[in-house]
Amino acid sequence: MSVLAPAGVLRGRAPALRLLRRYGVYLALGVLFLAAVLLDAGFLSAGNVRIQLFQVAPTLLVALGMALVIGTEGIDLSVGAVIALAAAVIPLYIGWGLPVALLVAVALGALGGLAGGAMVAFARVQPIVATLALMIGLRGLASLVNGASAKPVTDRALLTLGSDAFLGVPLTAWLAAACVALTAVLVHRTTFGRQLVAVGDNRRAARLAGLPVRRVLLTVYLLSGVLAALAGAVIVGHGAEADPANQGRNIELDAITAVVVGGTPLAGGSVRVLGTVAGALFMQLTAAVLTQHDVPASLTKIVEAVVICAAVYASQERGTR
Amino acid sequence: MTPTAPAPTATAPALGAETAAERLAARIQRHGALTVLALLVLLASVFSPGFASTDNLGAILGNNAFVWLLALGLTFVILTGGIDLSVGSMYALGGVLAAWAAERYGTWAALLLPLAVGAGWGCVHGLLIARARTAPFIVTLAGLLGARGLLQLITDEGADTHLVPRGSAFRALGEGTWTPVLISAALFGLGALLLTRTRFGATTTAIGGNEHAATLMGLPVARTKALVYVLSATLACAAGALGGARLGSGVTTVGVGYELTAIAAVVIGGTLLTGGSGSVGGTVAGVLLLSVVHNLIDRSASQYGSAVTDTVNGGFLAAVVLAQALLNRGRRDE
Amino acid sequence: TNQGDGGPSGHSAAAPDNTAAAQQVVAPSASAAGPGCTADAYGAPKLDLTDGRTVVGFSQSESTSNPFRAAETASIEAEAKKLGVKLIERNANADVNAQNAQIQDLIAQGAQVLIVAPENSDGLGPALAAAKAKKIPVLTIDRSVGGAACSDFVAFIGSDFHGQAEIAADDLAAATGGQAHVAVLQGTPGNNVSADRTKGFTDRLAAKYPNMRVVAAQTANFDQTEGQKVMEQLLQAHPDINAVYAENDGMALGAIQAMRSAGKTPGKDIKIVSIDGIRQAVQGVVDGQLVADIETNPRFGPLAFQSLKDFYGTAGVQPKVIIKDGHFGADNAKQALDQGLVY
Amino acid sequence: MAQAERPDGPAGAPAPTEPAAAESAVALAAAAPVLAARGIGKSFAGVHALRDVDLTLRPGRVHALVGENGAGKSTLIKVLTGVHRLDTGRIELAGREREFRTPLEAQRAGVSTVYQEVNLVPMMSVARNLHLGREPRRRGLLDLRRMHREAAALLLRYGVDTDVTRPLRELGLGAQQMVALARAVQVEARVVVMDEPTSSLEPREVDTLFSVVRDLTAHGTAVVYVSHRMDELYALCDDVTVLRDGRAVHTGELAPLARRDLVGLMLGRTLLAARERAARQVPDPGARPALRARGLSVRHRVHGVGFDLHRGEVLGLGGLLGSGRSETAKAVVGALGADAGTVEVDGRRLARRSPAAAVRAGVVLLPEDRKAEGIVPGLSVRENIVLAALPRLSRAGMVSRARQDAVVETFMARLRIKAASPDQKVADLSGGNQQKVLLARWLCLAPKVLLLDEPTRGIDVGARAEVRALIDELAADGLGVLLISSDPEELTAGADRVLVLKDGAPVDELTGDRVTPDDLLAALAHETRPGAGDEKTDDEKNGARR
Ligand SMILES: Nc1ncnc2c1ncn2[C@@H]1O[C@H](COP(=O)(O)OP(=O)(O)OP(=O)(O)O)[C@@H](O)[C@H]1O
Ligand SMILES: Nc1ncnc2c1ncn2[C@@H]1O[C@H](COP(=O)(O)OP(=O)(O)OP(=O)(O)O)[C@@H](O)[C@H]1O
Ligand SMILES: [Mg+2]
Ligand SMILES: [Mg+2]
């Protein structure tokens, strides 16, 4: 892929349009929210806002990791399977207390991420196939670990994490917010963040500049695995059941959509953390409005398709991949 | 050019050192999927009784031949550095449209309607990607949703199933083992010709290799990019229609996840996801390899349940791509 | 997906319950209406189902991570073991094309008779044709296929999905006094089972319960997590919902979770009826969270092999054999659980 | 095919006799302009790249376009050829007003371009690259055999003797440049634009290029020629337009303009008198070298190259295109997997072979292909400069903005990097300034050994003098410098010793009095005598200079 945007984009654009592009997601999010409230004033109620935050938290956690991976010109399809893995082990270790169960889940998530990262960094397998193999294999493994069937979860601490709120905001949303802040610092303020972006933008140059390219790639997939495992814990806690066969299915596509709607280019070389948050919220609101107004499944899909295209078009800076 | 121009010397001096063994090794590397496939078929024929039977091979070929066409279209898309996630949905849509049209208007409509809808839909993808410069991943992800939505809309949320009439000539297109295989083989052959022996094919590869350069060289970049998506969607819809002819109905739930299998097949076939390098022949090897692997895992691991099958499946896929990446290692610089 | 999941049934719980109650036939639909289908009529060679050399092929449609599928597979396996026949199996993981290929592969591996759990009612044409060409009888279980019985396939054994939905409507009406705002959690679109369960329910309401209004009908793909998400949204938009019909137990369990977090008491504020009969949901009936749970009986093993025996014997099989589904209400749920009748 | 219809076109006979060319040039001097651009203006996000520029091209004449890095030469060319759209002004082609919206339109109208960075498709075969978009066809399908035959024959005339079915990326940058050139000249063009075509060529190829240009003008084609090499300009060009800060400050015939004045016009100041090279003390051969390489081998490319590089020494690496100089440098820093060989820094052997390890040890490489291997295009100038030094400029992994800004300011000033601000994207800088950014990236690390692969590629006269002075200065400060350059003048002027490579193996070393351009050329020529494979090289030469 060429590093320079082709001719059409090199041409000057009105600054106003540029600004719109840069902040398009936020605008789209605002418009959608307004529309939702106009359609039904109940949308503003505290209960409703809380529900939306509950539902968006796991997707957002996964999307944060995905944004980092995408920043290195990669993609991680295995996040859903990592969630399944977390769902498989949490019931096994929850007897030891929530921290232990969380630690085991996160450690396994890290291992899963490392496996993908190693394939990408060392063997130079293309990320989409490396993580596709993991996606299939890890989900199978998850079912092997603790049986394929769903297990009810009764641990108080986990249920509290999954469904309680602090200051009216769900604990899971606080957790997601903390991860957002950490990710933002990581990307914008640390050496690692710079290296990540450089690796995504021009890998050969980054290597010749002496950057630890492999370590960056490994770390990024590892972080994605860790965040996915956290998301798994959140999903299990909120649903009060652990279902390795089904939990986390298709979440990778939701996360990728959120990241890209948020303005991070799939070609790598740039990560927009806040944009990702806006993207995830945007997709969540779309789904909420459609479900709450009882739109049939067929139309829901079509509307979502159109909305995704429009939002990405509005927020894209350049259109590679 | 003077017609008497001397024939070029075979290689640059520096390369004269390459030995025959190295050339063979390079050849095996270049056709990694084919090599693995050949080995696997050989081993399976020896160790898995009944694998090499005509019935089993016929089952592998006949039932998958149309699905493989998705990988053919994707090869072109991926060569430009793009991606098409909508092929699975388009496959299902093609089947439903064909059955619906066959029920009502007969064979020709059953063939033409899916082609027309596929081309139109692909055109929308192409314009959004090539003209509006929206990321292919997202456009076709929306396509995946949209096509599924449309197909549910025309089947009353999936409640209606349209059947291809029993006597319809349309059914003949999908019957048996050899009709599907021949149709697919012919299309793959045409695809190979299109890729290697036309300007369209050359432009496709050039765009993936260096889009900026392709633009500066004055190649019709936007048009070719758009056409590639038209080709992919049309092929997927046609494959779905033919699949519908084979199944005898427009199955609404079919095709879920086919895009990922097709992408895996293309990549295993040696086409770079970043574009610019790949071949139709590689894709053929890729789809065959995946089908054979699935067949073998089915035969040997089915009785242990889905979890084991999935784990083995993922492990095998990882092993294959790893083996390939390692084989390819020597070829890449850095 | 025929059933969702949830339910602690796994492999251990799927130990087939081959009790008489479990395999009782409700309606060999043409009860005495005519002679059943036999091997002679079908044109199949005779086969001894107790001979260890007999090879039976079983094609499962969906992943056994689904408790219904796990129980169904285990039941078939157990019965085959009991009879001493050789069983070879395949799992199509919800892909019609794969199932076609796998059935043909089963034939290639020497299966002499096939038991098929079809992924879809339509779309197994190529496999059925291949079997027919080799004169291999095909018995379909849990979902029917298109075509003619005793010609394209031997017979169909399974539940009456339409009927299940009607019972669910009756139960819900009884629990709400025929006055309700109902939310319907639908199964996967395009799946015959969810289509039947939707149609059966709405038809029944239209016919018998004019005061029960469906305020929202959304798909949750037979999935518990999705069921919870959809229910959470619906409760926000329609606080007046007081009844829920879930087309499988998984979605019902998700809905219960959603009601709890919305501060409503399932069973009191909102009445729920669901279909499938997995352990966790039946426990919910015992606990008063669900009004009733209609079973979808997965224990096809004994009935399937008995039908095949009839097929090779003189009795013959009727084209449509409806398996008896349990009906767990407040009165019998506890007993059923205690007796281990629940999968 | 163009060349088939025009059997004696430039491709067919790249080297006509000189008098014919001169004659036609005189005859055409007064002819009507083939392309006239008036009042061209172009700005990017507030930066005025071009303001009110006029350019007139006449058939059969070579028009030099000169100016400092970032003066707007490439931008002007891109505006003329449809890559950028112009903000103001108009373009007339053969008296008719035209505006090209795409490079394709420009090409169709007869304006053919070789862009500054090689713009070909690296993974496609050489032949395909040469013919892309106008492949010969037979019965609707591409005629591959003819394509390969024609490509091989055509390239042979440009001194590139290679298997045209190999992927282009396997060729050295210089050879790629020749392919790009052959491709551009192949079409029947009224105007051929060349943006620094010789920046990665060495003398033999430059001669080939000159003969191509002369042949073009003999056939009445107008040529725009951009170069920072004064000798070339005076040898080849008839007219000149000098750009400074986006304005045309002078237009006229080149010959009457003295070199000094030309440079003065470009820089807006007079260039410092050529610096006397500081007499460096000859390093003690017994001392421990800063860098010692032994027996470096890369399959098919480099065979047993070894050298010692002392502190304060500039070692030149000479050779023809494809002689393996770049590969040697890459093998030293571990960017290429070496099959054999060791590298020692200050007597300590580098165990792990990777660029990161080399950087830690103080050995850094400025790569020749800055676009593919140097810049990180999406990042700003600031971020590109501090990229490698980040770990040293940060505390506990957190980037310190202040320390970073201090470094960036220092080096932007010291190297005179011309950018709107440190926040400007590097991709938007002119080629020369990008090169300076890369130099800054390494200098702020204070390395022990600097490997420079074509460091002045695409750098303007002023900056070139600065870079040369800088190399001297660095060496004087005790750095060991390995200098690779295709310009014999530059190589011998800058280096204390020159190691000559051929086909990946060392064949000669020039020391002391022998470090002169003539000796270097002689060393290269000498080595082409014996051996079987070398006859081919002779043929190439004859082919090129026939
Ligand atoms: N796409 C762009 N966006 C913003 N600024 C640009 C862009 N392209 C060029 N510029 C600016 O325009 C000016 C002229 O650049 P140009 O590439 O034309 O210089 P040049 O004369 O070719 O220099 P060199 O000799 O180094 O190649 C520079 O200041 C550069 O930063
Ligand atoms: N003129 C040519 N003809 C054929 N092959 C060539 C030519 N020039 C370069 N090559 C090929 O390019 C390969 C790499 O060359 P390399 O980059 O090492 O050379 P270099 O000495 O650095 O020259 P350059 O000045 O191009 O950087 C060589 O192995 C050779 O196969
Ligand atoms: Mg320039
Ligand atoms: Mg070089």
Which among D462, D387, D435, D23 is positioned nearest to D230, based on CA atoms?
D462
Write the DSSP symbol of residue A260.
Answer: H
Q: Is D330 in the pocket of ligand 2 (CB under 6 A)?
A: no
Does residue C46 or residue A205 have the better pLDDT? A205
CA D2 / ligand 2 centre spacing (Å): 28
Amino acid, res. B257: G
Asked if pLDDT for residue D487 goes beyond 90, the answer is no
Question: Which residue is listed with tokens 């034939």?
Answer: C107
Residue A62 domain flag: yes
Window 214-253 of A, Cβ < 8 Å to D: none
Asked if pLDDT for residue A177 goes beyond 90, the answer is yes
Tell me if residue A166 falls in helix, strand or coil.
strand
> Average of pLDDT values for D196-215?
83
Question: Which residue is listed with tokens 């039946």?
Answer: C282
List, in sequence order, every residue forming a beta bridge with D395; answer none if it has no partner: D398
Q: How confident is the model at residue D2 (pLDDT cuts 50, 70, 90)?
A: very low
Segment-wise mean pLDDT, segments of 10 residues, chain C, 343 residues: 36 37 47 70 82 88 84 91 89 88 88 90 87 90 85 88 90 89 90 88 91 91 91 91 91 92 86 89 89 88 89 85 83 79 75
For chain A, the straight-line distance linking the first and the last C-alpha, in angstroms and rounded, comes to: 9
Q: What is the reported pLDDT for A320?
A: 30
Find the range with the poorest average confidence among A240-244, D19-23, D323-327, D432-436.
D19-23
Which residues in chain C are contacts of B62 at CB distance < 8 A?
101, 104, 126
- Class of residue A14 by CB neighbours under 10 A (exposed 0-12, middle 13-18, buried 19+): exposed
Asked if pLDDT for residue D20 goes beyond 50, the answer is no
> Average of pLDDT values for D291-315?
88
Each as own residue / partner, the long-range contacts of residues D93-101 (CB below 8 Å, 24 or more positions apart, any chain) are D93/D34, D93/D35, D93/D190, D93/D191, D94/D32, D94/D34, D94/D35, D94/D190, D95/D32
What is the domain-level CATH number for residue A300?
1.10.3470
Contact between C223 and C250 (Cβ < 8 Å): yes
> Where do runs of H (alpha helix) occur along chain A?
7-10, 15-39, 46-71, 79-93, 98-121, 127-146, 156-163, 171-189, 191-201, 203-208, 213-239, 251-261, 273-292, 297-315
Q: How many Å is the maximal CA-CA distance in chain D?
A: 72
* A129: contact with B, CB 8 A cutoff: yes
CB atoms D103 and B217 under 8 Å: yes
B86: distance to nearest CA of chain C, Å? Answer: 17
* B67: contact with C, CB 8 A cutoff: yes
The CA distance from A67 to A71, in Å, is 6
The CA distance from A301 to B176, in Å, is 36
Q: pLDDT averaged over chain A?
A: 87
- Percentage of residues in chain A having pLDDT higher than 70: 91
Chain A interface, mutation test: which of D78, D79, D380, D387, most A Cβ atoms within 10 Å? Answer: D387
Tell me if residue B84 falls in helix, strand or coil.
coil
* A296: contact with B, CB 8 A cutoff: yes
Tell me if residue D72 falls in helix, strand or coil.
coil
In terms of residue numbers, what domain contains A232? 25-31+50-319
List, in sequence order, every residue forming a beta bridge with C114; answer none if it has no partner: C57, C138
Out of D335, D387, D398, closest to residue A189 by CB? D398
Q: What is the reported pLDDT for B2?
A: 28
Window 165-184 of D, Cβ < 8 Å to B: 166, 169, 183
Question: Measuring from atom 24 of ligand 1, which residue has the nearest CA?
Answer: D69
Question: Which residue is listed with tokens 């809380």?
Answer: A50
Which among D378, D375, D372, D370 is positioned nearest to D425, based on CA atoms?
D378
Contact between A227 and A276 (Cβ < 8 Å): no
- Percentage of residues in chain B having pLDDT higher than 90: 41
Which among D526, D525, D500 is positioned nearest to D315, based on CA atoms?
D500
pLDDT in tens, D498-514: 999 888 888 888 888 88
- Class of residue A11 by CB neighbours under 10 A (exposed 0-12, middle 13-18, buried 19+): middle
Given the DSSP bridges, would you call strands D497-502 and D314-319 parallel, antiparallel or unpaired? parallel
The CA distance from C205 to C245, in Å, is 12
What's the predicted TM-score (pTM) here?
0.85
Contact between C42 and C136 (Cβ < 8 Å): no
CB atoms C232 and A54 under 8 Å: yes
Q: Is D367 in the pocket of ligand 2 (CB under 6 A)?
A: no
Q: What is the reported pLDDT for D271?
A: 55
CA D389 / ligand 1 centre spacing (Å): 26
Q: Is D174 in the pocket of ligand 2 (CB under 6 A)?
A: yes
pLDDT in tens, B35-68: 888 888 898 888 887 788 888 888 888 888 999 9
Chains D and A touch (3+ CB pairs under 8 A): yes
Question: Atom of ligand 1 at shortest distance to CA of D84?
Answer: 1
Amino acid, res. D468: R
Q: How confident is the model at residue A61 (pLDDT cuts 50, 70, 90)?
A: very high
For chain A, list residues whose CB is within 8 angstroms of any CB belonging to chain C: 40, 42-43, 45, 47-48, 51, 54-55, 143, 147-152, 163, 235, 238-241, 243-247, 249, 287-288, 291-294, 297-298
Q: What is the reported pLDDT for D63?
A: 94
Given the DSSP bridges, would you call strands D480-484 and D449-453 parallel, antiparallel or unpaired? parallel
Q: Is B307 in the pocket of ligand 2 (CB under 6 A)?
A: no
Q: Is D301 in the pocket of ligand 2 (CB under 6 A)?
A: yes
Q: What is the reported pLDDT for D303?
A: 87
Does residue B29 or residue A53 have the better pLDDT? A53
pLDDT in tens, A227-265: 999 999 999 999 888 888 889 988 999 999 999 988 888
Q: What is the reported pLDDT for D12?
A: 39
Residue A7 domain flag: no
Q: What is the reported pLDDT for C143?
A: 86
Token output for D108? 């169709």
> Average of pLDDT values for D146-161?
88
A198: distance to nearest CA of chain B, Å? Answer: 17
Question: Which residue is listed with tokens 């170069």?
Answer: D227
D471: distance to nearest CA of chain B, Å? Answer: 27
Asked if pLDDT for residue D117 goes beyond 80, the answer is no
Which among D492, D445, D444, D503 is positioned nearest to D468, based on CA atoms?
D492
b/e burial code for range C138-160 (CB count within 10 A of at least 16 → b): bbbbbbbbbbebbebbbbbbbbb
Residue A178 domain flag: yes
CA A317 / ligand 3 centre spacing (Å): 25
Residue A36 domain flag: no
Which among A292, A254, A305, A244 is positioned nearest to A276, based on CA atoms?
A254
Instruction: Give the contacts of D455 (CB within 8 A, at least 6 positions apart).
Output: D366, D435, D439, D467, D471, D483, D485
Chain B interface, mutation test: which of A122, A290, A312, A315, most B Cβ atoms within 10 Å? Answer: A312
Q: pLDDT averaged over chain B?
A: 85
What phi and psi values does residue D265 have, to the nearest 5 degrees?
Answer: -65, -40
Q: What is the reported pLDDT for D270?
A: 60
Q: What is the reported pLDDT for D22?
A: 45
For CA atoms B3, B6, B7, B10, give the dihedral sign. Answer: negative
CB atoms B150 and A298 under 8 Å: yes
Does residue A3 or residue B205 have the better pLDDT? B205
State how far the alpha carbon of B28 is from the alpha carbons of A27, B22, B34, B270, in Å.
Answer: 54, 10, 8, 12
Q: What is the reported pLDDT for C22?
A: 43
Count interface pairs A-D at CB distance under 8 A: 101
Amino acid, res. A289: V
CA D371 / ligand 2 centre spacing (Å): 18
Given the DSSP bridges, would you call strands D480-484 and D314-319 parallel, antiparallel or unpaired? parallel
Q: What is the reported pLDDT for D224?
A: 94
- Percentage of residues in chain A having pLDDT higher than 90: 59
Residue A8 domain flag: no
Which residues in chain B are contacts of C89 at CB distance < 8 A?
302-303
Residue A15 domain flag: no
pLDDT in tens, D430-477: 878 888 899 999 998 889 999 999 888 777 777 777 788 888 888 888
Q: What is the reported pLDDT for C43?
A: 83
Q: Is D321 in the pocket of ligand 2 (CB under 6 A)?
A: yes
Chains D and C touch (3+ CB pairs under 8 A): no
**Residue D324: which region, alpha, beta or left (left: phi > 0; alpha: psi -120 to 50)?**
left
Token output for B42? 């050989």
Question: Measuring from atom 2 of ligand 1, which residue has the nearest CA?
Answer: D428
CB atoms A148 and C7 under 8 Å: no
Q: Which residues surround ligand 4, an ion (CB under 5 A)?
A: D 326, 368
Compute the residue count for chain C. Answer: 343
Asked if pLDDT for residue D538 goes beyond 70, the answer is no
> Cβ atoms within 10 A of the Cβ of D338, count?
24
Amino acid, res. D122: P
Q: How confident is the model at residue A111 (pLDDT cuts 50, 70, 90)?
A: very high
- Class of residue A317 by CB neighbours under 10 A (exposed 0-12, middle 13-18, buried 19+): middle
C138: distance to nearest CA of chain A, Å? Answer: 29
Distance of CA B238 to the CA centre of its chain: 13
What phi and psi values does residue D206 have, to the nearest 5 degrees?
Answer: -60, -40
Q: What is the reported pLDDT for D468?
A: 82
Asked if pLDDT for residue B188 goes beyond 50, the answer is yes
* A198: contact with D, CB 8 A cutoff: yes
Question: Measuring from atom 1 of ligand 1, which residue has the nearest CA?
Answer: D428
Residue of D171, D178, D323, D326 to test ligand 2 pocket, by largest number of atoms within 8 Å of CB: D171
Token output for D451? 């490997």
Q: What is the reported pLDDT for D323?
A: 83
Which residues in chain C are contacts of B56 at CB distance < 8 A?
104-105, 108-109
Instruction: Give the contacts of C331 (CB within 8 A, at least 6 positions apart).
Output: none
The CA distance from C104 to C99, in Å, is 8
CB atoms B251 and C199 under 8 Å: no
Q: What is the reported pLDDT for B83?
A: 93
**Residue C222: which region, alpha, beta or left (left: phi > 0; alpha: psi -120 to 50)?**
left
Q: How confident is the model at residue D268 (pLDDT cuts 50, 70, 90)?
A: confident
What phi and psi values does residue A229 have, to the nearest 5 degrees?
Answer: -65, -40
| B neighbours by CB contacts (3+ pairs under 8 Å) | A, C, D
> Average of pLDDT values for D284-293?
80
CB atoms C11 and A150 under 8 Å: no
Q: How many domains does chain A have?
A: 1
Which among D199, D172, D61, D144 is positioned nearest to D486, based on CA atoms?
D199
Q: What is the reported pLDDT for D24?
A: 45
Question: Measuring from atom 16 of ligand 2, which residue has the nearest CA?
Answer: D322
Q: What is the reported pLDDT for D13?
A: 39
Q: How confident is the model at residue D284 (pLDDT cuts 50, 70, 90)?
A: low
CB atoms B216 and D83 under 8 Å: yes
Asked if pLDDT for residue A267 goes beyond 60, the answer is yes
* A206: contact with D, CB 8 A cutoff: yes
Q: Which residue of B has its CA nearest to A141?
A: B311
The CA distance from D258 to D256, in Å, is 6
Q: What is the reported pLDDT for A317?
A: 57
Token output for B218? 């004055």
Out of B143, B152, B260, closest to residue A305 by CB? B143
Q: Which residue of C has its CA nearest to A288?
A: C233
pLDDT in tens, A64-110: 999 999 999 999 999 999 999 999 999 999 889 899 999 999 999 99
CB atoms C126 and B63 under 8 Å: yes
Residue A40 domain flag: no
Residue A12 domain flag: no
Chains A and C touch (3+ CB pairs under 8 A): yes
Asked if pLDDT for residue D543 goes beyond 80, the answer is no
> Cβ atoms within 10 A of the Cβ of D367, count?
23
Token output for A156? 């108080």
Instruction: Give the contacts of C262 (CB within 8 A, at least 6 positions apart).
Output: A47, A51, C232, C235, C236
Out of C5, C232, C233, closest to residue A149 by CB? C5
The CA distance from D481 to C126, in Å, is 73
Domains, chain B, ranges and CATH? Answer: 27-40+50-333 (1.10.3470)
Asked if pLDDT for residue D97 goes beyond 60, the answer is yes
